Amino acid sequence: MNISAFQHDLLTWYHENKRELPWREDQDPYKIWVSEIMLQQTKVDTVIPYFERFIEKFPTPEALAEAEEQDVLKAWEGLGYYSRARNLQNAVREVVSSYGGKVPDNEKELGDLKGIGPYTKGAILSIAYNQPVPAIDGNVMRVFSRLLMIDEDISLQRTKKLVDEKLRNIISTEDPASFNQAIMELGALVCTPRSPGCLLCPVQAHCEAFSHGREKELPIKAKAKKQREVAYAVLLIRNKENEYLIEKRDEKGLLANLWQFPMVPLAANNLNQVEEWIYKHYGLHVQLNKKHGKLKHVFTHIIWNLDVYEAVTDETMEKKDSVIFAGREKLEERPFPVSHQKMMKYIRE
Ligand code: SF4
């Protein structure tokens, strides 16, 4: 590859075609950090309104460090992968306590912060601090596996290492911020997963896969394991005060610290054991009424099949922090996973 010609073609295209995005307005490392964490596994169009609301609410590292975790999760509600938000806040707290609120500008300190992997580290160092460090995510792997015609599985660590090594020679030392963003933009707009737009591609002349007619065969990627399906009955349990029973999920694992309506696993319990299960877990006698509907929620490794039921109880419960009855307004204040947010419509109806 003629590296300087490649950089020139890529950067010229980028400067003419880049999208106006709110985190590109300045080179504030905190904003770049927030945007990069939000953009993991999530599309740009989805992220924009979340990013704007988040920065309005938590405009500085100090503001985020001081915020209640529940408020941060509420601002993240609907974006998914909630550990990203928790790790971000923990790392920002460390930045405030150890570095006076200034996001570190070196690989070692930045890489030691929780939730900052090589990709985010590269993005912050290059975009905010203009350092020639690669920022390699799945999109960049796809683009470079085609450009350099790499026949290795891109999900393997050694392939990532190989691309990292090659990229350290290819990245522009004059304008690494634009270079990394240009590659990301190329992956998002032109060199897309299923049908790369080679005919209009600004770096087509440098692309090995295109010159061999192999752009659609690459990248090579091992098939992800099939997700495990699990079935639950979810109960919207209403008391006499028109409040609903909700509980806070564990502080570790999937959807940690988010709130939910009680979920009864159906594999071990058939429907007529659901009331008994609720009594055992919450000490409440409930009566199961009509079924509201069905919902499916797909995570990376698991699929929830949710049957949503209405239920009532005449009883009250011992006060606990993590299991409460809440009226409609109180429900809306708390962070819920998307699937449980969708169930709110049965309550509003
Ligand atoms: Fe991707 Fe095609 Fe451009 Fe190569 S020519 S980088 S395969 S869009």
Q: How far apart are CA 69 and CA 205, in angstroms?
A: 49
Return the residue whose CA atom lies nearest to atom 2 of ligand 1.
198
Q: Ligand 1 pocket, 293 CB below 6 A? A: no
Helical axes 3-17 vs 157-170, angle rounded to 10° = 90
- In the beta sheet, which residues pair with residue 178? none
Q: How many CB atoms lie within 10 A of CB 65?
A: 18
Same domain, 180 and 292: no
Looking at the structure, do residues 130 and 235 belong to the same domain, yes or no?
A: no
Return d(Cα 88, Cα 65) in angstroms, integer. 9
CB 303 within 8 A of CB 226: no
Catalytic sites, residue numbers: 36
Output the tens digit of pLDDT for each of the chain's 349 residues: 899 999 999 999 999 999 999 998 888 999 999 999 999 888 899 999 999 999 999 999 999 999 999 999 999 999 988 989 999 999 999 999 999 999 999 999 999 998 899 999 999 999 999 999 999 999 999 999 999 999 999 999 999 999 999 999 999 999 999 999 999 999 999 999 999 999 999 999 999 999 999 999 999 988 878 889 999 999 999 999 999 999 999 988 899 999 999 999 987 667 778 999 999 999 999 999 989 999 999 988 899 999 999 999 998 887 788 999 999 989 989 999 999 999 998 988 7
Please give the number of the atom of ligand 1 that sits closest to the Cα of 196.
Answer: 8
- Residues 137, 191 share a domain: yes
Q: Is the same domain home to 207 and 313?
A: no
Q: Is the sign of the CA dihedral 128, 129, 130, 135 positive or negative?
A: negative
Q: Which two tokens stand for residue 24?
A: 């590109």
Same domain, 193 and 260: no
State the CATH number of the domain containing residue 242: 3.90.79.10
> What is the position in ligand 1's atom list of the atom closest to the CA of 190?
8
What's the pTM? Answer: 0.81
pLDDT of 199: 95
Q: What's the pLDDT score for residue 104?
A: 97
* Ligand 1 lined by 182 (C-beta under 6 Å): no
CATH code of residue 82? 1.10.340.30
What is the domain count for the chain? 2
- Whether residue 216 is contained in a domain is answered as no
Residue 123: inside a domain:
yes
Tell me the residue range of the domain where 44 lies.
3-211
| pLDDT tens digits along 239-267 | 999 999 999 999 888 999 999 999 999 87
Q: What is the number of residues in the chain?
A: 349
| Residues 201 and 233 grouped into a single domain | no
Same-domain pairing of 249 and 320: yes
Please indicate, yes or no, whether residues 303 and 196 belong to a single structural domain of this protein.
Answer: no
For residue 151, the CA-to-ligand 1 centroid distance in Å is: 15
263 occurs within a structural domain = yes
Ligand 1 centroid – CA 202 distance (Å): 8
In a domain, 218, yes or no: no
Torsional sign, CA 326, 327, 329, 335: positive
